[in-house]
């Protein structure tokens, strides 16, 4: 399912925050503020909406006056950016886009001509701006390789755990050398991402600024979560069932299969899977349907597809699950669950442990452990008071530690520093 523009409360809220935030420069703030902000060319590899793209959507939507976004692939992300007033250019090459994470030497050689065309095109755009902001790894490669041509300060927002579990040896090696030779400033989305960067490049992890993603609380405030039955009726969900929600693209490492195994141990609970296979993981999505049928729980599993109105879907849930089997670099969905004032059960690895404090503002379980997940769901279901306590603390933490205002303030500060 493709996102639609008008239905997105997050997008609407972003526009609103751009219009009403007097403390930071934007298209609508006085000229003095706008002048103080350097002009920025943002580059992102994806046309789809993953966590890195939602983070860029907020930032680019905030800096529309003096920025442009280059996407290396077309898709719904472009329309979402344009709806916020961002100028977008797609510079794509089918062969380069097709290079997978586990890139072989042969694959790399095949894409060289297309790659240089893209490098030159990005460098030509970058020369028109003060700063080049690279938001993903392919953006890093193409933007940093062009440094001798554009000679602009390069800032990379690093959103990944840079290990062999996630990426191929060649790709990691390219990243290592580009960071050493052509990147002026790196910022990361969690300490876990910083540690992996340090292990790869030898940079001191403590010297890399951690800028957590920010979640716009107003998009969640706008959804009235008190009449849950009405909300569920509107979304086509069962009114009276106890609902566990799992949000995120369908992909093996996101662990939706672990949630299905847990559900098989909990006779009355329903599971709502919100998200779609964004990057070619259709076979995994099909396997999830088959697994639900084989476990005899298909009538209690609701495949909702990609949804724009995540705040409403989250508020319709009794509990929010996060089940990644590999360390999650950050995990926006966790903070969103907290902002929705719902108890969150999350897999304890990577950046997640910087967000969730066990039994204080959420519940941590061992990644990939369906039995522990089922126990945790059972515990919170049996103790609504505990669940409510966790949710209250979670809401407070989401607002204080992971606000969109703090994210934008720190990110614009980093861009200003890069421009000096
Ligand atoms: N998301 C969405 N609709 C969906 C599923 C997910 O808008 O149907 C959003 C979700 O709200 C979150 C983002 O996609 O903001 C996923 O970010 P996260 O950091 O959790 O995972 P990533 O995609 O970076 O691995």
Q: Which among 1, 247, 281, 329 is the best mutation to test ligand 1's pocket, defined by most ligand atoms within 8 Å of the CB?
A: 247
268 domain-assigned: yes
- Atom nearest to 306 CA in ligand 1: 8
Q: Are 223 and 262 part of one and the same domain?
A: yes
Instruction: Pick from 152-156, 166-170, 416-420 the range whose average pLDDT is largest.
Output: 152-156
Q: Are 206 and 222 part of one and the same domain?
A: no
Q: Are 19 and 168 part of one and the same domain?
A: yes
> Average pLDDT, stretch 350-363?
98
Q: Are 309 and 375 part of one and the same domain?
A: yes
Report the predicted TM-score, pTM, of the whole model to 2 decimal places: 0.90
3 domain-assigned: no
Q: Are 184 and 280 part of one and the same domain?
A: no
Measured in Å, residue 50 CA sits from the centre of ligand 1 at 5
Q: Are 186 and 280 part of one and the same domain?
A: no
131 domain-assigned: yes
Examine the pLDDT at 24 and tell me if it is beyond 50: no
170 domain-assigned: yes
Distance CA 301, CA 314 (A): 16
Measured in Å, residue 49 CA sits from the centre of ligand 1 at 7
Q: Are 147 and 238 part of one and the same domain?
A: no
Identify whether the C-beta of residue 68 lies closer than 8 Å to the C-beta of residue 129: yes
Q: Are 238 and 102 part of one and the same domain?
A: no
Q: Are 268 and 205 part of one and the same domain?
A: no
84 domain-assigned: yes
Residue positions counted in the chain: 420
41, containing H or E segment: strand 40-44
Q: Mapping DSSP to helix (H, G, I), strand (E, B) and coil, where does residue 349 land? A: coil
CB distance 193 to ligand 1 below 6 Å = no
Identify whether the C-beta of residue 84 lies closer than 8 Å to the C-beta of residue 64: yes
pLDDT digits (tens, 9 = 90+) for 45-98: 999 999 999 999 999 999 999 999 999 999 999 999 999 999 999 999 877 766
Angle ∠(350,257,357) on CA atoms, nearest 5? 30
CB distance 330 to ligand 1 below 6 Å = yes
What is the CATH classification number for the domain harbouring 307? Answer: 3.40.50.2000
271 domain-assigned: yes
300 domain-assigned: yes
Structural domain for 128, as ranges: 9-214+403-419
Q: Are 85 and 45 part of one and the same domain?
A: yes
Q: Which among 1, 44, 49 is the best mutation to test ligand 1's pocket, defined by most ligand atoms within 8 Å of the CB?
A: 49
| Tokens read off for 361 | 């503002």
- pLDDT band with cut points at 50, 70 and 90 for residue 420: confident
Q: Which among 50, 160, 161, 167 is the best mutation to test ligand 1's pocket, defined by most ligand atoms within 8 Å of the CB?
A: 50
CB distance 274 to ligand 1 below 6 Å = yes
> Kind of pairing, strands 301-305 and 269-274?
parallel
2 domain-assigned: no
Measured in Å, residue 139 CA sits from the centre of ligand 1 at 20
pLDDT digits (tens, 9 = 90+) for 222-237: 999 889 999 999 999 9
Measured in Å, residue 333 CA sits from the centre of ligand 1 at 6
Q: Are 224 and 80 part of one and the same domain?
A: no
Domain count, the chain: 2
Identify whether the C-beta of residue 52 lies closer than 8 Å to the C-beta of residue 135: yes
Identify whether the C-beta of residue 303 lies closer than 8 Å to the C-beta of residue 274: no
Distance CA 300, CA 222 (A): 29
Q: Are 407 and 397 part of one and the same domain?
A: no
């Amino acid at each position: 399912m493709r996102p639609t523009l008008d239905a997105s409360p997050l997008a609407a809220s972003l526009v609103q925050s751009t219009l009403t935030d007097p403390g930071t420069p934007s298209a609508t703030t006085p000229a003095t503020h706008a002048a103080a902000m350097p002009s920025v060319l943002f580059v992102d590899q994806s046309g789809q909406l993953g966590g890195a793209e939602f983070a860029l959507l907020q930032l680019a939507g905030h800096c529309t006056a003096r920025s442009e976004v280059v996407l290396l692939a077309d898709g719904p992300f472009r329309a979402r950016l344009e709806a916020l007033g961002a100028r977008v250019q797609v510079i794509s090459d089918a062969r380069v886009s097709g290079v997978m994470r586990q890139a072989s030497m042969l694959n790399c050689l095949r894409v060289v001509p297309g790659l240089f065309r893209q490098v030159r095109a990005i460098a030509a755009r970058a020369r028109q701006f003060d700063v080049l902001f690279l938001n993903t790894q392919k953006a890093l490669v193409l933007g940093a390789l062009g440094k001798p041509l554009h000679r602009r300060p390069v800032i990379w927002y690093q959103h990944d755990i840079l290990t062999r579990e996630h990426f191929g040896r060649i790709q990691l090696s390219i990243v290592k050398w580009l960071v050493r030779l052509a990147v002026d400033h790196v910022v990361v989305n969690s300490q876990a991402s910083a540690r992996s960067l340090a292990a790869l490049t030898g940079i001191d992890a403590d010297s890399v600024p951690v800028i957590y993603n920010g979640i716009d609380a107003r998009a969640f405030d706008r959804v009235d979560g008190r009449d849950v039955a009405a909300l569920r009726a509107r979304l086509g969900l069962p009114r009276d069932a106890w609902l566990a929600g799992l949000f995120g693209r369908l992909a093996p490492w996101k662990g939706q299969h672990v949630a299905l195994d847990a559900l098989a141990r909990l006779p009355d609970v329903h599971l709502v899977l919100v998200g779609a296979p964004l990057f070619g993981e259709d076979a995994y999505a099909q396997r999830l349907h088959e697994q639900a049928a084989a476990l005899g729980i298909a009538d209690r599993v609701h495949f909702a597809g990609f949804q724009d109105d995540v705040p409403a879907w989250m508020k319709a849930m009794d509990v929010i699950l996060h089940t990644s089997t590999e360390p999650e670099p950050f995990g926006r969905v966790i903070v969103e669950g907290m902002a929705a004032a719902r108890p969150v059960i999350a897999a304890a690895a990577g950046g997640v442990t910087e967000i969730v404090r066990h039994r204080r503002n959420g519940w941590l379980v061992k990644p990939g452990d369906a039995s522990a997940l089922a126990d945790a769901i059972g515990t919170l279901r049996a103790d609504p008071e505990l669940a409510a306590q966790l949710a209250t603390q979670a809401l407070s933490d989401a607002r204080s530690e992971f606000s969109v205002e703090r994210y934008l303030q720190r990110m614009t500060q980093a861009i200003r520093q890069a421009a000096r």
